[in-house]
Amino acid sequence: MKDKKRKAAIRAEMKATGRRYAAIAREMATRAPARTFLLQDLLNECASFPPATVDWGFPQELAPAVFESQVLGGAVPFSTVLQLAGALAQEGRAARLTLEALHPLETAIVACGARRFDLVLSQDSWMRELCRTPACERTPVHEVIVHCDAHLAERPVRELIDMAREWGCWHSAGVNDPALLMGSPDADELVKAAVNQGAYEQVATALLGACFDDPDTLEDRLIWDEPTGIAIRYAMDRERLRLQQVANTEARRIRKKAEACTACGADLPEWAVLNIPPKFCSKECAPRIPGKAGADPQ
């Protein structure tokens, strides 16, 4: 009944405004209050509800097997629910989810704590994890760099350092040739985000230490395994230089766009200054950032 009323309201607005059905449906979905439910409720529906017949507008043999979910308020593929349950296996069946948005027969965006998922409703087993910034529909840079490139620079410095360290460990796991660890675009995104906050040195140090070797460990390695130690040091130094170039380029880009100091309006330095945010002309103008060395504790 609710679905019939919704469709009738969409058609009435189509007639009054001349807008497309899909656009009005999306807008109505964003107007609706957020709906919360347990993963167990969705799984119970998936296990007990019969397949539903839906007019997809394309051949039925190409369509996914779906059921009409009362929890989500529309048709959802059986396989996609199982894929979501797999992604939330650690949280368990009692995981509480929030329906952020529903575009019937297209996508549903659900959140579980900080994690957010885009469920594609018109395809079998098609789900993607989204950037953890609310309302963002872009994908994260990496599974351990959990924000998209547009929002990564907004994260606290301490979080960037932790992500750099975790990514470095992930990236180097099982890799025997240190030369293969250089040149990752994921590392570039972390460095660019760090530059935005004047935290390049802290983030780069954490990344390189986790990806290659801690300086103290590397010195020991040079004693008992000199060839490997030399190879690691060479690759690490080359990657440090490359990341420095990425950082300098990003700082120049930000300064060129800003044109003047955000705080005092003074001209920004033409050379790269990586220990302060590029939008500011000096440490005195730059805000103190929690998590950065020298910042006031919060």
Q: Which two three-digit tokens encode residue 245?
A: 């170039």
Asked if 115 and 153 sit in the same domain, the reply is no
Per-residue pLDDT at 295 exceeds 50: no
> 228: domain range?
149-258
Task: State the first-to-last Cα distance of the chain, in angstroms, to the nearest integer.
Answer: 52
User: Distance of alpha carbon 69 from its chain centroid, rounded?
Assistant: 28
Judge whether 24 lies within some domain.
Answer: no
- Using CA atoms, how far apart are residues 115 and 196, in angstroms rounded to an integer? 24
Asked if 174 and 122 sit in the same domain, the reply is no
Query: Of 101, 139, 106, which Cα lies nearest the Cα of 123?
Result: 106
Q: Which two three-digit tokens encode residue 22?
A: 């899909």
For residue 69, the cross-strand partners are 74
DSSP 68-125: EETTTTEEEEHHHHHHHHHHTTTT-TT-EEEEEEEETTTEEEEEETTEEEEEETTSTT
Asked if 53 and 126 sit in the same domain, the reply is yes
Judge whether 54 lies within some domain.
Answer: yes
Asked if 185 and 221 sit in the same domain, the reply is yes
Asked if 103 and 61 sit in the same domain, the reply is yes
Judge whether 84 lies within some domain.
Answer: yes
Asked if 111 and 153 sit in the same domain, the reply is no
Asked if 166 and 218 sit in the same domain, the reply is yes
Judge whether 265 lies within some domain.
Answer: no
What's the pLDDT tens digit per position in 231-259?
888 899 999 999 999 999 999 999 988 88
Q: Is the pTM of this model over 0.85?
A: no
Asked if 83 and 38 sit in the same domain, the reply is yes
Query: DSSP 3-state assignment of 141?
Result: coil
Per-residue pLDDT at 224 exceeds 80: no
Contact 196, 254 (CB under 8 A): yes
Judge whether 4 lies within some domain.
Answer: no
What pLDDT score does 231 carry?
Answer: 87
Listed in sequence order, the residues at least 6 apart from 194 whose beta carbon sits closer than 8 Å to its beta carbon are 157, 160, 164, 200, 202, 203, 204, 247
Asked if 96 and 126 sit in the same domain, the reply is yes
List the single range of 18-22, 42-46, 140-144 with lowest mean pLDDT.
18-22
Asked if 159 and 241 sit in the same domain, the reply is yes
Asked if 181 and 243 sit in the same domain, the reply is yes
Asked if 254 and 153 sit in the same domain, the reply is yes
List the single range of 76-90, 163-177, 186-200, 267-281 with lowest mean pLDDT.
267-281
Per-residue pLDDT at 160 exceeds 60: yes
Number of domains in the chain: 2
Judge whether 281 lies within some domain.
Answer: no
